[in-house]
Amino acid sequence: MKALKKILTSKSGELLTRLKIVAAILMPVAIFVILSGCSESPKAGSPEADAADGQVLAKKYCVSCHRFPAPELIDRDSWIKRVLPAMGRQLGVHVYMDQYFCDERSALGTAEWLKIVAYYKSIAPISLPIPKPVVAPLKDWAIFSLERPKKINASVPAMTTMISFNPNDKKIYTADAASNLYKWDSQLNSTLIHHFDSPVTGLNYFTENDTNTGIITCIGTMAPLNLFKGKVSLFNLNGRTKNAKPVLITDSLPRPVQTVAADFNKDGLMDYVVCGFGHDHGALYLLLQQPDRSFKKMVVSSIAGGEQLITGDFNNDGWPDVMCLFAQADEGIRMFLNDHKGGFITHTLLRFPPVYGSSSFQLVDFNHDGKPDILYTCGDNSDFSKVMKPYHGVYIFTNLGNWKFKQTYFYHINGCTKAIADDFDHNGNLDIAVIAFFPDLKYHPEEGFTYLKQAGPNKFTPHELPVNDYGRWLTMEVADIDQDGYDDVILGNFSTAGRGLINQTGFTPKWNTHEPIIVLKNISGKKRK
C-alpha cells in the first residue's frame, strides 16, 4: 500500500500510466474478494448448497421424535439404503424404485427431504473407525469356573429369552422362545413349570400365604410388529400342576418386556408398572389395583422402546417412583416421580441418539459417595444399521448430585447387551460382568462375555472368558446359586443358527445350539481360603 500511495501522490504528468499501474495493483485484490465471496455462498441448487440446507432441515425435523442423529454416527451406505428411508416413513416420506415422494400428511416436501439426504450423504463416513482397547484384555477364566447342565434335550434349540433368580426359593427360572418356563436347581437340573401363550420376557416374585408367586410378563410376539398381544399375569411357581393357570392382571399390551410392583398410590393394594416396548408404537403403563381386584390401566408415557424398569423412592418423599430405559427412537433414561395423585412427573436423566441401541442400565454407587451412579450399555445391532459401532459398550455415568450425571468411564464392546455390577471377589470394589449378543463374531468372538475387574476409580482390567463356543448370550443374571456367599453369573443362550441375527458375512456359527444356560461359578472364595 505504500507503493500505491506514492503513485497517487506523484506530481509527474504521466497520469494515464499511473492509472494503469493502479489498476494492475487493485485487480488481484478485487478478484480475491469476488472469489472469497463465492466460496462462502455456494450457488443455489449446487450439491454444496443442498447439503447446507439439508443440515438446517435435519435439525428442524429429525429432532421432532428424538435426539439429533449426527451423520458421523453411521456409515454412508447404512444411511442412504436403510436408515434414512426408515426415518422418512415417520415423516410421511416414502421411497419407491429409489425415488422419494411425500404423502399428504408429510410436514415437508420432496425437495426438502432430498436436501436432508444430500446432507447425510456428504458428511457420513464410508466406514466407522472401531477403537482398539487401551489395555489388552486378558484371556483367562479370572475368578470363575464353568458349570454346564447335566441333561439337555438335543432336539430342542436353545432360545433363552429370560433368566431370573428367585430369592424366595433360591431357584433359577428361565424362559424360551417356545413359550416355556423352566425351574433349575443348584445342580442345573431343569423342570418344566408351564407353557404360556407367548414367550416370557420378565419375571418378578413375591410370597403370599406361603405361595411362591411369580409376576409373569409375556411379550405376545417376538417379531418387531405393532401388535397388542402382550399380557401380565400372576402364576403359582410352587410346582408344575396339570390344571395350573395364570391369573390375568392385564392384556392387550404392545410387546411388554418387564413389570415391576409397588403400592404406587399407597392404598394398601399392590400396583404394577409395565413397559410395552412395542415397535413404532409402545407405552409405559401404570396398572392401579382396584378394591375388586381388577386393574385400571393408565398411560404413564407414550414413548416406545421401554426396555428396563427400576423402582425406588428416588426423591426421598416416602412414595415409590419408577425409572425406565427407553431403547427405541427417543433413547434415554427417564425418571418418573410419584405425584401422590395416581400419576408421575417425568424427568429425563440421560438422552442418547436413536442409533445407539440402548440395551441395559443399573443404579449402583461405584464411588461409595451415597449417590447412585448409572451403569449403562448400548449395542443392540438388529435394526437398520448393522455395522459395528465405536460407541457400543459399557458406560459409567457418575452422579454429581441432584440426579445430574457425567460420563466418567467407557469400554468399547461390539454389540454390548447387558452389564451387571457386583463385588464378585469381596474386596470392597464393584466389578462388572458384561455380555454382548452382537460381538465381532468373525474376528473377536471372545468379547461375547467380559469380566471387568475394578483396579481403581473408573479403571477396570478386562478379562475375556473363553465361553463363546458354549452359546450366544442374550440374557444374564447374577446370583449366589449355591449359597456359598459369592455371587455367580448365569448366561442364557439364544443360539440362532440362521442368518437373521448374524450381521457379518463369511462366518459360520460354531457355538452350542442346545444348552439353554451355563453358569460361571465364582471360585474367589476358594482362592481366599
Residue 500: the pLDDT is 65
What's the pLDDT tens digit per position in 435-464?
999 999 999 999 999 999 999 999 999 999
Long-range contact set of residues 244-249: C-beta below 8 Å, sequence gap at least 24: 244/194, 246/194, 246/196, 246/216, 249/215, 249/287, 249/295
**DSSP letter string, 323-365:** EEEE-SSS-EEEEEEE-SSS-EEEEEEEE--TTS-EEEEEEE-
Q: Rounded distance, CA 451 to CA 123, Å?
A: 37
**Neighbour tally for 205: CB within 10 Å:** 17
- Residue 20: what pLDDT? 43
What is the structure's pLDDT at 483?
94
pLDDT for 485 equals 96
Single-letter amino acid code for the residue at 187: Q
Residue-wise pLDDT for 135-184, tens only, equals 889 999 999 999 999 898 888 899 999 999 999 999 999 999 999 999 99
CB atoms within 10 A of CB 399: 20
Q: How high is the pLDDT of residue 47?
A: 75
Sole residue written with cell 399375569: 233
Please write down the HEC assignment for all residues of 479-503.
ECCCCCCCCEEEEEEECCCCCCCCC
Do the beta carbons of residue 155 and residue 178 sit within 8 Å?
Answer: no
Q: Which amino acid is at 507?
A: F
- CA–CA separation, 161 vs 221, rounded Å? 12
Taking 50 as the pLDDT cut, the residues of the chain under it are 1-39
- Which amino acid type is present at position 262? A
Query: Measured between alpha carbons, how far is 275 from 243 in angstroms, rounded to an integer?
Result: 29
pLDDT for the residue 87? 85
Element (H, E) at 285: strand 283-289
Closest CA to 354 of 81, 58, 109: 58
Distances (CA, A) of 171 to 187, 190, 290: 10, 10, 32
Report pLDDT for 65: 74
Helices (H), ranges, 374-470:
none
Compute the distance between CA of residue 272 and CA of residue 55 in angstroms, rounded to an integer: 43
Terminus-to-terminus CA distance in the chain, angstroms? 87
What are φ and ψ of residue 311, in 5° steps? -105, 155
**What is the model's pTM?**
0.88
Cell 461409595 -> residue: 368
Instruction: For 190-208, give the secondary structure using H, E and C.
Output: EEEEEECCCCEEEEEEEEE
pLDDT of the residue at 471: 96
Between CA 318 and CA 322 the distance in angstroms is: 13
Rg of the chain's alpha carbons, rounded to an integer? 29
- How far apart are alpha carbons 390 and 385 in whole angstroms? 13
d(CA 449, CA 466): 8
Q: Cα–Cα distance between 176 and 362 in angstroms, integer?
A: 24
- Residue 51: predicted pLDDT: 85
By CB atoms closer than 10 A (0-12, 13-18, 19+), residue 245 is exposed
Q: Which residues contact 388 (CB under 8 A, 6 or more apart)?
A: 128, 130, 381, 414, 415, 440
